[in-house]
Structures are given as structure tokens and as C-alpha cells.
Structure 1
Amino acid sequence: MKYDNYIFDLYGTLVDIHTDEHNIVLWRKVAGYIKREFGVRYKPSDLRKRYKEIYKDEVRKLSVKLNLEHPEIRVSWVWDRLLAEGAGIDCASDRNGNRINISKNRRRTQSGPEALTPRIPASTPNDGPMDEPSPEIEKLCIFFRETSTDKMKLYPGTEQTLQTLRDSGKKVYLLSNAQRSFTWKEIQELGLEKYFDDIFISSDKMIMKPQRQFMEMLIDKHALVREKCVMIGNEIGSDMKIAADCEIDGIFLNTCGYSGEKIEKDLGKLNISIENDHLLIISDGDIRKIL
């Protein structure tokens, strides 16, 4: 093992996962949850449409605020806005950009047997150094995630590989494009937390791969020597790009079964040669072969 520091991606690298956020059945269930828990009514199709619109708008605003090409929003911001809109609450931001409700009592009036009383959780800015939504919003995020997920398991050899690295005195880090509001629970349930010396989740930092600053934060925090680091991931445009941009080696795990032609083409878009001495391609995606 030539490296001292192994930096892993999570989903598609260590965790075999499949989610479907487009299926209308998901949005029916989420609409039912929102009505039941918060007293806010949405048609499933409207909820799906507005979720995507608000998500895109939050990304745009954060990109401008932080001057980043690849910002990572906190998905709680989307749900905060959706609930407020559904309850007829006016939302704004204070001078520091923190989200606040400026008219908590100004709600749509409803009448009849189906009338609902909105029960919106107290507004929390959630703009600090860690992604910490209110407990009610965190539960909503987890419900959405679990309802949209139909497969989540570790790839064969994942735990054995991570344990072998640690037993060999290597440092093991996680650098994941993910939302803490549900990812932390998944990390713990999959038994992965104990293997990492540090965990960087993009929603905490409000920056995501392939933005090189995300990796630089990890390198700087632990004073890592670049020549002794390697990034292991399953996405060329994300994991391998950030590795190349930060001048560290990369190991590409082909867990999606891409053809050699596609891999070479995708690397070519980044001006990375498939014969690059600083890149190892594991064609069958077997994580055990990084050892």
C-alpha cells in the first residue's frame, strides 16, 4: 500500500444505493406526511414541481453568495420554504442571509371539514458550520430519503478493506457529496462511522465535489502530504476531477459497469489520459483491489 491517506467517496463507492425521486408515488406519500405532520396540503404533482424549483433557486443563490461553481445547499432550506409557502407564511432573510419567518401568523384561511391548521416548526437559520435542521425538518428529510430509496447496502469487501487499511496504520477519510440530515443516519446504520478518521459531508461545508476547495479543506485540516494521498470514487467528473485538480492520485471504481470507451471519453473531457500514472482504474469496481 503506497499511500498513507485514503480518501473515499460514499455513495456508489462504498454503498450500493438506488433512489427514485421522480416517481409520483413518492410525492403522494410525502404530501401525505406533510399534511399529517404539519397541517399543510399540497397536490403531489405540485409538491414535486415546486420542490425542484426551490432547490434550483437555492443552489443559484448560494452559488452567487459564495462565488462557487459547485455549491451544496442544505435541503432543509427547501423544505422550510415549501412548508412556509403551503401555510401562507411570508419568508425573508435577515441582513446576514439567515432565513426567518417575518409573518408567522399570516396564514391562508381554510374552512370546511377538510380545513387544516398549519403546524410549522420554529424557524432556525441552519447557516452555521454544521448542517443542523430542526428535529421536525430532519425527520421529514429522513422520511423523504427512506421513501425514495429501494436499495442500500455495502459493496462486497467494503468493511474488510476499510478495516485492513486501519489495521495497517493508514488514515481513512470520507469526502461525500451528501446531506447530513439523512446521510449521518445512514453512515451509522451501515456501521461505517468507526472506520473514518474524519468525515466531510458537503452540506456541512456548503460546497461539493468537484469544487477543489472541498478537498483542500480536508488536506489543510489534517496537514496531509499530497503525494501520500489518494481519492477513491466511482465518478470521473466528480471524484477523479477533484483528485486531479488537487494534484493527488485517484482510483476509479467502475461500480456502474461503464464501458472502456465511455471511461476513456469521460477522462478525455477532463484532459486526463487513461494511461495516467496518477490514476488507477478498477474495471470491475471491486474495492478490495485497492489494497
Structure 2
Amino acid sequence: MLQNGRIKGLIFDCYKTLINIKTDERSRETNQRVSHWMLYQGVRIEPERLREVYKWKVIDRLNNSGQQHPDIRIEEIFAEICAENAYREIDPCWLGIETAKIFRTASIKKLEAYPQSRALLEKYRHVPKCIVSNAQRVFTEQELRFLGLYDYFDHVILSSDHKIKKPDTRLFQMALDQLGLEPHEVLSVGDTPENDIYPPQSLGMNAMHIHDAWRYA
């Protein structure tokens, strides 16, 4: 994978590349669990309304971002919902963060590290590495940590921090800047050609599908 020393840095996507995940955020069960938890935090909103309000707030935030490939911070959406539906005094900022975590927990059906990806990270432990992922910092960082993946990386760039998503090439440029390497010295690895292969290639980087990269573990 590291061609004769020409590749000096690696960029990895996160979900479906490092982490095998399945979620169901729209289900009644997920929203009912979150709604019930929110009651104990001072917020009253029915599960069906929670699902619809969340959906439309996300759509509105994305449509008014001014970005071609926008992202949100999910905790900001939940902070708004909590503030608008509180039945007693609350701290919306703190509660937005905690609700985002509960929402994630309630929606997860599968969450595990790919053993092939872990083996790949271990093999190239001493090569500078960066994650570039369309993901929410509020729970993704913790998932990387408790799955034992976070410390393999020198840098972690998540779309929610910058409110732009891949395929926006600015995220990959940030990774190059943080790694301190030239584009031809870096290999991007991911599962989605539209996000992980073509954008870095347009900057002059090398790119490989994760299933091809596993052969080098």
C-alpha cells in the first residue's frame, strides 16, 4: 500500500471504513426512547413530533447554510428543540449535547471496528494518519475512543466541526495542511468513491477503496 516509500501519510474515512455501523434514527422506537429520556430532563415532546421537528430543523439549517455540501452540529438542533419544549428551567446547550448522545445510543443497531481495518492501522502505526469523515464530533470521537481507534491517528477532521461535508475538498486540504505533506505523498482510504476517492484525487492525492486496502493488512 505504501509504494516504495512514496506514500508518507494516510487519510481514512470513519464509518463503513474503520467502523461497521447500523442505525435507525427515524424509527418510532428510537424517538420514543429519546422522548421519554427528555421528560426526565425537563423537556416534553411526543416521539412523532420529535422526529418531524428534528427532520425539518435539519433541512432548514442545511438549506440556509450557504454551502454546496453543508453539515450541521446535531447538538445545536437538539438544543433548540429542548429550549422550545422545556416545561421547567433547563440548560439548553448542555442538554443539547446530552440529547445528541442519547439519540445516538437509542438509534444504534450495530457498532464495531472492522478487524481488517484495525490490523491495517496497527501495521502502519508509525505512518502519520488523519481521519476525514462526515461525522458528528459529539458522539464520533467517543465511539473512536471506546473502540480503541482514536489513538492511532495524529489528527481527526470531522465535518460537524466545520459545517461542511465531503465531497468538499477543503476537508482534505485541511488534512494535508495538518499532516504537513504534499498531495502526492498521501493516500486516502474510504468506502465511498464520491467522497473518499474522487475528491482527494482532484487535489493530486492517491486514493484506494477500503476493501482493496485490507489486502495490505
TM beyond 0.5: yes
- Which has more radius of gyration? 1
Q: 1:29 aligns with which of 23, 29, 33?
A: 33
Separation of aligned partners in 1, 2:144 and 2:193:
23
Which position in structure 1 is the counterpart of 2:120? 161
Separation of aligned partners in 1, 2:88 and 2:35:
14
**Following TM superposition, by how much is the alpha carbon of 1:11 offset from its aligned partner in structure 2, in angstroms?**
0.4
2:63 aligned with 1:60: yes
Q: Which has the higher helix share?
A: 2
Equivalent runs, 1:75-90 vs 2, <5 Å: 75-87=74-86
SS in structure 2 opposite 1:157?
helix
Which position in structure 1 is the counterpart of 2:178? 221
**Following TM superposition, by how much is the alpha carbon of 1:151 offset from its aligned partner in structure 2, in angstroms?**
0.5
Which position in structure 1 is the counterpart of 2:11? 7
2:148 aligned with 1:144: no
Which position in structure 2 is the counterpart of 1:74? 73
**Structure 2 vs 1, CA of residues 82 and 143 (structure 1 numbering), >3 Å: closer, same or farther?**
same
8 A contact 1:138–1:182 mirrored in 2: no
2:23 aligned with 1:16: no
**Following TM superposition, by how much is the alpha carbon of 1:41 offset from its aligned partner in structure 2, in angstroms?**
1.5
Gaps of 5+ in 1: 88-116, 123-133, 255-281
SS in structure 1 opposite 2:64?
helix
Gaps of 5+ in 2: none
Separation of aligned partners in 1, 2:210 and 2:122:
18
Separation of aligned partners in 1, 2:9 and 2:179:
10
Separation of aligned partners in 1, 2:19 and 2:137:
16
Separation of aligned partners in 2, 1:27 and 1:46:
9
Letter in 2 for 1:20: D
SS in structure 1 opposite 2:21?
strand
Equivalent runs, 1:1-291 vs 2, <5 Å: 1-2=2-3, 3-37=7-41, 39-62=42-65, 64=66, 68-87=67-86, 117-121=87-91, 134-166=93-125, 169-254=126-211, 282=212, 287-290=213-216
> Greater relative contact order (Cα 8 A, min sep 6): structure 1 or 2?
2
Separation of aligned partners in 2, 1:40 and 1:140:
11
8 A contact 2:9–2:179 mirrored in 1: no
8 A contact 1:178–1:203 mirrored in 2: yes
SS in structure 2 opposite 1:47?
helix
Separation of aligned partners in 2, 1:193 and 1:221:
16
- CA deviations 1:164-210 (Å, max 9, x no partner) are 112xx421111111111111110110011110111111111222211
8 A contact 1:230–1:251 mirrored in 2: yes
**Structure 2 vs 1, CA of residues 146 and 165 (structure 1 numbering), >3 Å: closer, same or farther?**
same
Matched residues, number: 213
Separation of aligned partners in 2, 1:4 and 1:144:
38
Letter in 2 for 1:191: G
For the aligned residue pairs, the C-alpha RMSD in angstroms reads: 1.6
Identity, % of aligned pairs?
29
8 A contact 2:80–2:96 mirrored in 1: no
Letter in 2 for 1:14: L
Normalization by structure 1: what TM-score? 0.69
8 A contact 2:10–2:127 mirrored in 1: yes
**Following TM superposition, by how much is the alpha carbon of 1:140 offset from its aligned partner in structure 2, in angstroms?**
1.3
